[in-house]
Amino acid sequence: MPLSLYNDLTHQKEIFTPLEKGKVRFYVCGPTVYDYIHVGNARPFILFDILRRHMEDMGYEVVYVQNFTDIDDKMINKARDLGISVDELAERFITAYFEDADALGIRRATMYPRATHYIPQIIKLVERLIERGHAYVVDGDVYFDVLSFPGYGRLSKQSLEELLSGARVEIDPKKRHPLDFALWKAQKPGEPAWDSPWGMGRPGWHIECSAMAIDILGETIDIHAGGSDLLFPHHENEIAQAEAATGKAFVRYWIHNGYLLIEEEKMSKSLGNIVSVREAMRLYSPLAIRLFMLSAHYRSPLSFSGEALNHAVSAAGRLQNGWKELSFALQHRPRKKERDDVLRETIEATEARYEEELNDDFNTAGALGAAFDCVRAVNSYLAQHEEVDEESLIEAERFLARVDRVMGIIGIERLADIDDLMTSEIERFVSERERARKAKDFKKADAIREELAKKGIILEDTPHGTRWSKAM
């Protein structure tokens, strides 16, 4: 089944076909780095990282770009409040972003462009818009003329009148039309500024992403993604200024994730109802947070609550325990000679469903269901059979490893992240404990168990011997 995605530009699900065979140009709007990211911010970063991984799993070469907005009104105001420069503020929270993203298991992008590093490209793009009659200069400010671009509102599926009635637009006598937006802002006292043909100033927010995306990925890119709150005006404005400047289609597939809700309201800094990623990770494991984010379709709203996160904790535990049971069986269970066709067919069916769900508009919830079905099938099989079909279990292991490589919800690398020296030491303790149990020296056996528990090692006595695992 080929990959299909819901394209917000056409309002329909479409078969994904990249501009260049085998290669995907993928741009995701990143954070404005004036504060720690909250879990609402994290949703698109997790989701679109997984979509990128899925595409790579399909064989695509993905150039994945996620920007940092490091100059805008929020940056300037926050830096002023803290008594530091905008550059210092940006460095502080870019560092914090990487700490949080790494902890959540978000893979590093191909590139992380910063708006302030692309000032020459931004100026050139604004110059092109002025030359083509799509922008005008007023007292050092440069505005995009929405009336000059007939396609304005195409992404939002609204006319100028409808957009104007639904938007909160400040009255600005400098503008020809209320929806005209700033491409370049003249310097105000105390603000960072760069030299330009129109005087000292700084770029507007919308032009930053267009300039960076075009410079890195080309004038037409395959996928542009972000939260649904960016659809208007940010992405609508990106389309207008990019296509007005180049005369080419800017983005072929526009993808937006639904809001993260808390008590039925969108989570946002402006509403003051945010939960930072750091706060969330003090209460829940990164694996549980990732699994929670994948538990609903990406276009649907998702409600953040303690109940939902606790459910994700339990679900992540079931996946990890399933992996441990599978690995232990492959290491210690006796093998049967004949193949178990029922188990093999079940594993093949769950993997096929996993692929179908992800290829059907990136349905992570459906793909999760397939992974859980595989774990349940293996657990049931192991409970009913002393001797095991090695080939079928290896297929299950390979499939679950694939799920983890794409979705990052089992933590296989973390489960295996114990060096050889530590492994040797643990196994020595386990053997010593086994000898103590055989000698009925249960006091010593319990003491060894307690000592290992202090080191984060959990022991489990099974009919096939004692196994150990690292606490997550």
| pLDDT value of residue 422 | 61
Residues 6 or more apart whose Cβ sits within 8 Å of residue 392 = 339, 340, 343, 344, 347
DSSP-derived letter for residue 408 is: -
CB distance 86 to 79 below 8 Å:
yes
DSSP 157: T
pLDDT digit string, tens, across residues 41-81: 999 999 999 999 999 999 999 999 999 999 999 999 999 99
Query: Residue 139: exposed, middle, or buried by beta-carbon count in 10 A (0-12, 13-18, 19+)?
Result: exposed
Token representation of residue 78: 């926050």
pLDDT of residue 269: 72
Q: Do 357 and 51 meet the contact criterion of CB atoms below 8 Å apart? A: no
Q: What is the pLDDT of residue 275?
A: 93
Distances, alpha carbon 409 to alpha carbons 21, 39, 40, 414, 442, in Å: 30, 17, 19, 11, 37
C-beta of residue 295 within 8 angstroms of C-beta of residue 368: yes
- DSSP, collapsed to helix, strand or coil, labels residue 402 as helix
Does this model's pTM top 0.85? My answer is yes
How far is C-alpha 183 from the geometric centre of its chain's CA atoms? 29
Strand order in the sheet with 201-203: 135-138, 141-144, 181-186, 201-203
Count, in order, helices (H) and strands (E) of the chain.
16, 15
pLDDT score for 44:
98
Dihedral of alpha carbons 82, 87, 93, 99, sign: negative
Q: What is the pLDDT of residue 314?
A: 95
Alpha carbon distance 131, 426 (integer Å): 71
Return the SS3 of 260: strand
Angle between helices 39-57 and 390-407 (to 10 degrees): 130
**Residue 167: closest CA among 210, 231, 224, 227:** 231
Domain limits, the chain: 4-134+203-283, 314-412, 420-470
- Closest by CA to 52, choosing from 336, 202, 246, 255, is 255
Q: At what angle do helices 39-57 and 286-294 cross, to 10 degrees?
A: 80
List, in order, residues 6 or more apart from 451 with CB less than 8 Å away. 429
- Count Cα neighbours of 320 within 13 Å in the Cβ-side half-sphere: 23
Instruction: Note the pLDDT tens digit of each residue in 443-468.
Output: 888 888 888 887 668 787 776 677 77
Please give the biggest Cα pair distance in the chain. Answer: 91
DSSP state of 231: I
Alpha helix ranges (H) inside 15-113? 39-57, 73-82, 86-103
Residues 6+ apart with CB under 8 A from 313: 284, 285, 288
Angle at 467 between CA 464 and CA 472, to 5 degrees: 145
pLDDT of residue 421: 46
The CATH number corresponding to 4-134+203-283 among 3.40.50.620, 3.40.50.300, 3.40.50.150, 3.10.520.10 equals 3.40.50.620
Q: Which residue has the tokens 């006595």?
A: 461
Please report the pLDDT score of residue 268 as a whole number: 75
Alpha-carbon distance of 84 to 76, in angstroms, equals 10
438: tokens are 């055989």
Residues of the chain with pLDDT under 70: 166-170, 415-424, 455-456, 463-464, 469-472
Q: Residue 416: its pLDDT value, please? A: 67
User: For 314-412, CATH number?
Assistant: 1.20.120
Residue 238 structure tokens: 């990106």
Instruction: Identify the bridge partners of residue 461 per DSSP, sorted by sequence position.
Output: 466
CA distances from 182 to 67, 137, 144, 185, 209 (A): 20, 10, 6, 7, 14
Q: Of the candidates 179, 76, 184, which has an alpha carbon nearest to the alpha carbon of residue 127?
A: 184
- Identify the three-state secondary structure at position 110: coil
Query: What residues form DSSP beta bridges with 135?
Result: 144
